[in-house]
Structure 1
Amino acid sequence: MTPLARWARAEWGLLYATVRGPLAKRRLRAVPMSVAAVCLTALLQFVQNQSWGYRFVQDVGSVRAADPLWTALRRTPLSLFVPALDLPVWGALAQILVVFGIAEVCLGWWRTLTVAYVATLAGTLYARAGIALGPRHPLGLPASDAWVVDTGPSAAVVGLAVVLGWRYGAYATVGVVAAAMVAEVVLKDNLAGKEHLAAIASVLALGATVVAGRRLDRRRRQRRPGSRAGSGRSGLPPIQS
């Protein structure tokens, strides 16, 4: 085995082993939520490119920092599946199918949607905070960004990729994803790149909170009368559901 193959096995072997069985046995039936997400994204892309449908999609799923907060929160769940008009939709569909699909197998559909929503919501809220801070602040944004539509599926995809990499020991992949987002901010200095960084920060904070909660719960159980120290589970793979 070559050094590159050994590295790839160490980096992605556990993730591959987790995903391979369900996908080989059931194929797309193993990821029904992800298939539905791809279909919904394709449908919204088609509708928003029609003269009669653009305003409808904007009203139900496009989020801007200029929108009232409650309007933005109401639109945020659907905004996960509204692709950017200026980017190829096939890229978004492929990202959703692959990343959402892997996450659905590994984490279950509801955890996948939770992480995706947290990542997207973090970007939405960051845009508001950044504009309030102003362009002179290191984390601030210019007022013109208030009218830029939020990232759509990309923040959710980035967040899920980081969670999967962290959980399954693909730390180099997590580093590459984070570095790519930093490079996007440095080279383009756009709202989308900064929202992606906010998404990464939010899912890492969510993951750290979950891990801390499990450790605290394990310690409490070990302190109960009759409990045996060390009987708790480690917490890594399986989470499939």
Structure 2
Amino acid sequence: MTRIARWARTEWGLLYIAVRGPLVRRRWRAVPMAIGAVCLTAVLQFVQNRSWGYQFVQNVGAVRAEDPLCPALLRTPVSLFVPALDLPVWGALAQLLIVFGIAEICLGRWRTFVIAYAATLAGTLYARLGIWLGPDSPLGLPAADSHVVDTGPSAAVVGLAVFLAWRYRAYVTGGVVIAAMVVEVLLKDNLAGKEHLAAIAAVLMLCGISEVRHRRRTGRVAMR
């Protein structure tokens, strides 16, 4: 076994074992939520590119920092499945199928959705905080970003990727994902990039909470 193969086995071996069995036994039936997410995203993409459907998708799934908080929170779950108009839709569909599919198998449907929603919500709330801080703050945003339509699965995908990397000890992969998001902000300081960092911060907090709970359970078992 070559050095690269040994490294790959160490880095992704646990994740591969967790994913392979269900996929071999159940194939596409192992990831119904991921497939549903892909189908919903494709439908919303089709509708929003029609003159009769654009405003409807905006009303149910478009989030802007300038929007009142309550309507924005109601739209946030749907916004996750509304592809950004300035990006190719196939990228969003591939992200959903691969990352959501792996997460659905490894974490379960509800945990996958909770982590994805937490990452998306963190980005949405950060946008409001960033605009309040203003462009003079390192964490701030220009006022013009309050008008930017904030949709798409990228924050959720990044959050799930980091959580999976932590859960299955693929620490190098997780570090690469985080580093790539930092580089994105350094090269292109925009709302999306900083929202990705906010999503990562939220997910790292979830990782810490999960680790504390695991250690407490382990401690209780050891004391029995």
Specify if TM > 0.5: yes
In structure 2, give the amino acid aligned to 1:93.
L
Match of 1:116 in 2: 116
Alignment of 1:154-173 (within 5 A): 154-173=154-173
Partner deviation per Cα, 1:72-113 (whole Å, 9 max, x = no partner): 100001111011001110111011000000000000001000
Distance 1:174 1:214 in 2: 20
8 Å CA contact 1:151–1:192 kept in 2: the answer is no
Quote the offset at 1:218 in angstroms.
Answer: 4.4
Quote the offset at 1:56 in angstroms.
Answer: 0.4
Match of 1:188 in 2: 188
Match of 1:238 in 2: none
Q: Which runs of 5+ in 2 are unaligned?
A: none
Match of 2:60 in 1: 60
8 Å CA contact 2:92–2:152 kept in 1: the answer is no
Quote the offset at 1:149 in angstroms.
Answer: 1.5
Match of 2:81 in 1: 81
Query: In angstroms, what is the RMSD of aligned CA positions?
Result: 1.1
Q: Which runs of 5+ in 1 are unaligned?
A: 223-227, 232-241
95-104 vs 205-214, which moves further: 205-214
Alignment of 1:46-57 (within 5 A): 46-57=46-57
Number of aligned residue pairs? 224
Structure with the larger helix share: 2
8 Å CA contact 1:156–1:199 kept in 2: the answer is yes
205-214 vs 55-64, which moves further: 205-214
8 Å CA contact 1:123–1:150 kept in 2: the answer is no
Match of 2:148 in 1: 148
TM-score normalized by the length of structure 1: 0.90
- 2:177 counterpart SS class: helix
Distance 1:202 1:127 in 2: 14
Quote the offset at 1:216 in angstroms.
Answer: 3.1
Match of 2:33 in 1: 33
8 Å CA contact 2:62–2:151 kept in 1: the answer is no
In structure 2, give the amino acid aligned to 1:184.
E
Distance 1:170 1:218 in 2: 22
Determine which structure has more spread, i.e. the larger CA radius of gyration: 1
TM-score normalized by the length of structure 2: 0.97
